[in-house]
Structures are given as C-alpha cells and as structure tokens.
Amino acid sequence: MYRSFAGIICSKCGLVSTFRKHNHVNSRRLFNSSANLGFKVLGIETSCDDTGVAIVDSDRNLLANALHNQAQIHLENGGILPPVAGFYHRANMEKVANQAFTASKLSMADIDAVAATVKPGLSLSLEVGAKYGCFLSKKFQKPFIPIHHMEAHALTARLIDKKVKFPFLVLLISGGHCLLALVKNVDSFLLLGKGLDNSPGEVLDKVHRRLKLRNIPELQNFSGGHAVEVMAEKATNRTEFPFEIRANSILSCDFSFSGLVTQAYNTIAAEEQKYGTTADGVIPSAPNLCAAIQYAITRHLCRRVERAMIFLHRKEMIPRDNLSLVVSGGVAANKYISRALKIVCDTHDYHLSVPPPHLCNDNGVMIAWNGVERYRENLGVLHWDDLDSVSILTKCPLGVDIREAVANASVTRLKYVKLTGLV
C-alpha cells in the first residue's frame, strides 16, 4: 500500500531527498488527544480533481495551504474524467505536500496527526490521498484520521468563525452534492434534505455548456457556475424567463433540479431558433436566461433552508440563542446565492457563515481542520499500526437520515421570505 512512495520521501522529515537538509527530532510517541494542547494536523484532500495539502494547528492557525487545481484540464475535456483526475493526483501528490512543508518550515517531526479524505468521491482520486496519508502515518508513526469529505466542508466555517457553535444548520452545495443537515457535534449529523437528482453545480455546468459560454473570450477560463454568475450580472430583464421548480410545493426539505434543466434546454433551443444562432454562437438573451436560472436555483435553496429552520424551531432541536447557518461547497462561492440566504437568515435571526471561496472549494485546509476537531475529541483517530481497516468509499451518506420525519411534520402554510432586490 505504501510502496509507491517509498524511497522518494526523506525517512525523517517527509520531504523529497532533493530538498535541503533538516534538523530531525524523534517523532516516535503515542498520542493522548484528551491531553493535547497546541497540536498540528496535516490534511490531505484528493476526493475529486483538486490535490490539496494543508497544515492547521489547534489554535486555528493555518500554517500551510498548498493546492494543485485541475479545473482547466477538465474544462477543456467537457467534464471531469476520473482516470485523468487520478493521474494528475499521482503526478502532483508529493510535490504539493512538499510545498506545504516548505511554506510552513515544518517537517513530519512537527506533525501530531495525519488526516486524509477517504469518502465520498472518485475512487481513482480518493485512493491516492488515502494511500499517501496512510504511508506518512505508518512511516513516521503518527495517528491517522480518516475524513468524510462532506463533514469536512460542514465544519470548515468553525476554523474562521468562532460564532459557529454546535448545533448549527449547514447547507452543502457543490457540483456533486446538495445537502441540508443539522450538525449536532463533530461526528453527529442529522440529514434534513438532499438532492434527488441534479446538484446546483451540475445545473449551472449543464446550462454553461448548452449556452456555449466558453466561446465568449472573457469567460473562456471560468468554471460553469462562475460563468453563469458573471453573465447573470449583465441581465437587462431578469423576469424574461419565468422558470419554475415544481418540487417547491413538496412538503420536505429535499431538492430537485431535473425539471429546471429540461426547461432551460427547451428555452435555449427556442431562443437559438428565434435568433438563428450559428453552431458556435451564443444567443443574445443569454444574460437574461442565466439570471433566470440562477434565481430559480436560489429560490429553491432558500425555500428548503427556510422550511428546515421552521422545522427545527417547532421541534426545539436548535437553541434560539445560538442560531447559525453555514453554507459551504463550491457553489457557496456564488455571491448572488449568499445574498439571498442572508435575507432568509436575517428574517429568522440566524447568523450566516460562508467561508471565503478558496475554502468553499475542495482544499486540504478543511481536511486538516476536521482532523483537528476529531483529534481534540479522540473521535475516529487510528493508531499507525491499525491502518488495515482504512478503506475508501465512493458513496457515503451524511449522518442519520431524518428526512422522512421532516416530511411527516407537514410544515405548511409558510409565508416564504421575499427575496427583495434579487429579481
């Protein structure tokens, strides 16, 4: 399991042999997380197409953050190709790790534990980071902490925002997920709602491709969601296309965007015919259409979040003097969506916490911080001689599913907050 990295990393400090010499100290010691103060965790993230390595300490200090992004490669291929993603993870894993050590001026002797994403994600990507993390743990006799990728996203806000205390509500929105949960503790989650089909990021990517926004020079290197957001800002008539999401009327907190994609495709086809658009051309109404799609997605997210807030209040599952909504994941970087959720939060006296864009996207920082939280509580921390049980999972639920209870609560007659100024 560890052979592919042997002989490349310095046996004492964890850096490749071509780096400068370092002063080494004996790192062989057992851990006792209940007594740990001022400890440091190395985090490794390779669940999809970003190779991330970071070092965070227990005092919320970010000591290093190195990242290799494959976005442009996959953008040119029209989507993420798992074999390609796995190849670039293997090619860059050690280089990124060395960048983190160099930036922090630390070595493996200074690290107290190693955390790595093991679920969920692409198998060919996950195995690179998981094997590398286990290798470091075994070689340098450090505790290993397997990390759930979505749990890490949920807890990232606690690294930078001390107002976020347990329990809190979290909305995780990305290209692969749409989840709404109550975070009771570091390892205790109650799933209130999830995406039943397309995720918000998928919808934005599909609309981006169908509209051929990459053919616009200024958007050529933008991700799908960012390109749609930029185009929406240029809209002159945000109500020209009244898209509707039928799932808004369902008494649950689940999300469904498949009907929206169909509506968008049909509308784009009609607009292309109307304007006689060429094969590589972009319809003149693209800004208005992007604005309408973005608003429909935002409205659906806000209504589900608001329903969850009311459910939690009625069931007295969250204290009214400690209300926080955390929004994370790649789509959380969308400022329009954040503004809308801020309106909902202000109405229901919630504190809105959205990590900066570089922490919303996949990164090693969130893995390292999740490792810090788990190491402090001694939750899921493995001894370096007990790593045979570590395995990767491409699919893994988030917490305990109570979606049926949410639906059965029949939260009806809601007067949803008006998203004033966003239409």
The class (CATH top level) of 169-358+401-409 is: alpha beta
Structure confidence at residue 82 as a pLDDT band (50, 70, 90): confident
pLDDT in tens, 179-222: 999 999 999 999 999 999 999 999 999 999 999 999 999 998 89
Structure confidence at residue 78 as a pLDDT band (50, 70, 90): low
Structure confidence at residue 71 as a pLDDT band (50, 70, 90): low
Q: What angle do CA 118, 395, 160 make, to 5 degrees?
A: 55
Residue 354 has pLDDT above 70, yes or no: yes
Structure confidence at residue 35 as a pLDDT band (50, 70, 90): very low
Cβ pair 42, 35 in contact under 8 A: no
Q: Regarding the domain delimited by 40-160+361-397, which CATH topology (the fold level of the hierarchy) does it fall under?
A: Nucleotidyltransferase; domain 5 (3.30.420)
Structure confidence at residue 382 as a pLDDT band (50, 70, 90): very high
pLDDT of residue 77: 61
Would you report the helix, strand and coil content of the chain in percent, each value rounded to 5?
45, 15, 40
pLDDT of residue 407: 92
- Element holding 66 (H helix, E strand): strand 62-69
User: What average pLDDT score do residues 52-76 get?
Assistant: 87
Dist. CA 413–CA 293, nearest whole Å: 26
User: What does each C-alpha distance from 298 to 52, 189, 204, 395 come to in angstroms?
Assistant: 29, 24, 12, 26
User: What does each C-alpha distance from 23 to 12, 111, 305, 386 come to in angstroms?
Assistant: 9, 14, 52, 29
Dist. CA 144–CA 148, nearest whole Å: 13
Q: Who wins on pLDDT, 190 or 81? A: 190
Residue 30 has pLDDT above 90, yes or no: no
User: What average pLDDT score do residues 65-93 get?
Assistant: 80
Which residue do the tokens 């429909």 mark?
296
* Percent of the chain whose pLDDT exceeds 90: 75
pLDDT of residue 70: 72
| Sequence-ordered list of residues with C-beta below 8 angstroms from that of 275, at least 6 positions apart, any chain | 283, 284, 285
Strand order in the sheet with 113-119: 62-69, 50-57, 40-45, 113-119, 144-148
Q: Pairing state of beta strands 40-45 and 50-57?
A: antiparallel
Residue 76 has pLDDT above 80, yes or no: no
Max CA separation in the chain (angstroms): 73
Residue 182 has a CB neighbour count (10 Å cut-off) of: 23
Q: How many residues does the chain have?
A: 423
Backbone angles phi, psi at 64, to 5 degrees: -165, 145
User: What average pLDDT score do residues 241-265 get?
Assistant: 91
Structure tokens at 331: 């789509």
Whole-number mean pLDDT of the chain? 89
| Sequence-ordered list of residues with C-beta below 8 angstroms from that of 391, at least 6 positions apart, any chain | 118
pLDDT of residue 36: 52
Dist. CA 174–CA 19, nearest whole Å: 37
pLDDT in tens, 288-308: 999 999 999 999 999 999 999
Structure confidence at residue 4 as a pLDDT band (50, 70, 90): very low
Dist. CA 12–CA 102, nearest whole Å: 15
User: What average pLDDT score do residues 245-271 get?
Assistant: 92
- How many helices and strands (H and E) does the chain possess? 13, 11
Same fold, 40-160+361-397 and 169-358+401-409: yes
pLDDT in tens, 388-413: 989 999 999 999 999 999 999 977 76
Dist. CA 132–CA 130, nearest whole Å: 5
Q: Write the DSSP symbol of residue 191.
A: E
Structure tokens at 295: 């608003």
Q: Highest mean pLDDT: which of 135-139, 388-392, 419-423?
A: 135-139
Q: Where are the domains of the chain?
A: 40-160+361-397, 169-358+401-409
pTM of the predicted model as reported, rounded to 2 decimal places: 0.88
Q: Pairing state of beta strands 188-194 and 62-69?
A: unpaired
Q: What residues pair up with 195 in beta bridges, in sequence order?
A: 255
Cβ pair 324, 164 in contact under 8 A: yes
pLDDT of residue 246: 82
Strand order in the sheet with 188-194: 351-353, 324-328, 168-173, 178-185, 188-194, 400-401
